[in-house]
């Protein structure tokens, strides 16, 4: 794994940063009030950034999560992160590219890459929390037609109102069996029985959160990702759901790390600029170590988190799913902690100004906390590392 970024990655980073800086935090603030960021999404698509991780034969850039994480990080550093980048091309695009049928790839990948279609992802349930084995959304076959019937509930699903379809995680085994046996289904937005309700969040974000109710949602057989039973290549649907699920969750963790690193960098840059100019006694406040050292520590923590994120992306893109799982969890943990500390220190550096709308830092306090909670809490990551990496016994 290269420790220093390639010239191609540096060029991509610079180009995306230029795009982000043309929009900036003011654009995000406006779109939170007015609606979804269609202009930035469309321009990012035109420049090839939305589909940079998708296969070239389906109109993508032929890169991987390493490239897509650069896109999200730099947009975040400019103050205008696109949350749906985590969901649509990273999770859904990756799952379909790796496991979808040829028809599913043709139907979805070019459109996800050029921004004309968006896909949401539904896994979290109100009574399951971090325990995916308690998922109760059930998929069963109609013996007469071969259709699938989905019944269940999902919560905290981002962007359902703007998504053309939602990739829903269900199960084909009854919950009482204790077997998860997940299956992933593509559910179009206007499917009968597929209901959505906006969750009233304190968090001010562009992408709204939704609760979904699936009431005997009828889907054709080809809505199952991969279609039918699994193949020797591991690309099938009904018996390959667990593999498909983690193929999407590892990119989600890596992209969340990118989101957090970018957000932390944005807050830190604001604080550094303020500390250079704000003079209270005879020198800028940044000359005082009580101000300078915490900002320096925040920068170091963000850089270290980025290195782990890059390692996780490299492992995932090289096909090492096991190694990527460990690294992706660590990257998400490190980036979330670094982001929260950077935002907190930035607000503290500005004092009262850090809580004003003029400087735009106060709203980042809640946003930074999200990276600690979603898509998996830091406590569950510590569980993962203690069990899987250190070999300690489970407590549950």
3-state SS of 76-112 is HHCCCCCCHHHHHHHHHHHHHHHHCCHHHHHHHHHHH
- Dist CA 222 CA 360 (whole Å): 46
- Report the pLDDT averaged over residues 203-207: 81
- Dist CA 75 CA 17 (whole Å): 6
Cβ neighbors of 123 (< 8 A, separation 6 or more) are 132, 135, 154, 169, 245
> What was the pLDDT predicted at 396?
79
> What was the pLDDT predicted at 131?
72
Is the separation of the CB atoms in 186 and 225 below 8 Å? yes
Question: Among candidates 175, 190, 204, which has minimal Cα distance to 33?
Answer: 204
CA dihedral 158, 161, 123, 332 (to 10 degrees): -20
Is the separation of the CB atoms in 270 and 348 below 8 Å? no
Percentage of the chain with pLDDT > 90? 79
pLDDT at 337 over 60: yes
> What was the pLDDT predicted at 353?
96
What is the SS3 assignment for 218?
Answer: strand
Is the separation of the CB atoms in 345 and 339 below 8 Å? no
pLDDT at 71 over 60: yes
What is the SS3 assignment for 67?
Answer: helix
Report which secondary-structure segment, H or E, holds 319. none
What is the SS3 assignment for 224?
Answer: strand
pLDDT at 129 over 80: no
What is the SS3 assignment for 33?
Answer: helix
Per residue in 226-274, pLDDT tens? 885 544 344 555 555 667 777 789 999 999 999 999 999 999 999 999 9
User: What pTM was computed for the model?
Assistant: 0.93
Q: What is the mean pLDDT of the chain?
A: 91
- Dist CA 65 CA 313 (whole Å): 6
Read off φ and ψ for residue 108, nearest 5 degrees.
Answer: -110, -40
Residue 198: pLDDT band (50, 70, 90) is very high
Give buried/exposed letters for 344-379 (b at 16+ CB in 10 A, else e).
bbbbebbeeebeeeebbbebbbebbebbbebbbebe
Is the separation of the CB atoms in 209 and 170 below 8 Å? no
pLDDT at 361 over 70: yes
Q: How many CB atoms lie within 10 A of CB 202?
A: 5
Q: Which own/partner contact pairs does 373-377 have at CB distance under 8 Å and 24+ positions apart?
A: 374/156, 374/256, 375/249, 375/252, 375/253, 375/256, 376/130, 376/253, 376/329, 376/332, 377/130
Give the sign of the dihedral formed by CA 90, CA 95, CA 97, CA 103. negative
Is the separation of the CB atoms in 268 and 295 below 8 Å? yes
Q: Residue 157's beta-bridge partner residues?
A: 210
- Dist CA 374 CA 238 (whole Å): 27
Give the sign of the dihedral formed by CA 313, CA 314, CA 316, CA 321. negative
Angle separating helix axes 38-46 and 65-77, nearest 10 degrees: 140
Strand runs labelled E in the chain = 119-122, 138-141, 148-158, 165-171, 182-188, 194-198, 209-219
Residue 75: pLDDT band (50, 70, 90) is very high
């Amino acid at each position: 794994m290269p420790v220093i970024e390639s010239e191609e990655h540096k060029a991509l980073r610079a180009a995306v940063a230029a795009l982000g800086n043309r929009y900036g935090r003011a654009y995000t603030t406006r779109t939170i009030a007015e609606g979804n960021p269609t202009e930035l999404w469309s321009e990012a698509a035109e420049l090839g950034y939305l589909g940079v991780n998708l296969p070239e034969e389906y109109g993508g850039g032929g890169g991987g999560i390493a490239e897509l994480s650069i896109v999200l990080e730099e947009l975040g550093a400019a103050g205008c992160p696109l949350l749906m980048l985590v969901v649509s091309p990273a999770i859904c695009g990756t799952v379909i590219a790796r496991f979808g049928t040829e028809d599913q790839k043709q139907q979805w990948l070019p459109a996800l890459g050029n921004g004309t279609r968006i896909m949401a992802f539904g896994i979290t349930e109100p009574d399951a929390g971090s325990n995916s084995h308690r998922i109760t959304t059930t998929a069963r076959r109609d013996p007469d037609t071969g259709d699938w019937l989905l019944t269940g509930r999902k919560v905290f699903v981002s962007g359902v109102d703007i998504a053309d379809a939602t990739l829903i995680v269900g199960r084909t085994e009854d919950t009482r069996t204790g077997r998860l046996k997940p299956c992933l289904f593509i559910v179009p937005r206007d499917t009968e029985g597929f209901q959505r309700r906006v969750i009233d969040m304190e968090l001010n974000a562009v992408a709204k959160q939704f609760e979904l109710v699936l009431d005997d949602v009828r889907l054709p057989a080809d809505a199952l990702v991969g279609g039918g039973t699994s193949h020797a290549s591991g690309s099938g649907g009904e018996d390959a759901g667990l593999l498909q699920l983690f193929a999407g969750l590892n990119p989600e963790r890596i992209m969340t790390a990118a989101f957090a690193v970018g957000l932390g960098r944005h807050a830190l840059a604001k604080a550094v600029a303020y500390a250079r100019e704000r003079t209270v006694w005879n020198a800028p406040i940044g000359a005082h170590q009580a101000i300078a050292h915490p900002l320096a520590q925040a920068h170091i923590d963000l850089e270290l988190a980025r290195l782990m994120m890059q390692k996780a992306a490299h492992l995932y893109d090289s096909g090492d799913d096991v190694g990527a799982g460990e690294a992706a969890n660590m990257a998400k943990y490190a980036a979330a902690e670094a982001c929260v500390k950077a935002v907190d220190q930035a607000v503290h550096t500005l004092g009262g100004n850090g809580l004003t709308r003029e400087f735009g830092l106060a709203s980042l306090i809640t946003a930074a906390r999200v990276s600690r909670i979603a898509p998996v809490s830091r406590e569950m990551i510590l569980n993962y590392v203690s069990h899987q990496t250190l070999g300690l016994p489970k407590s549950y």
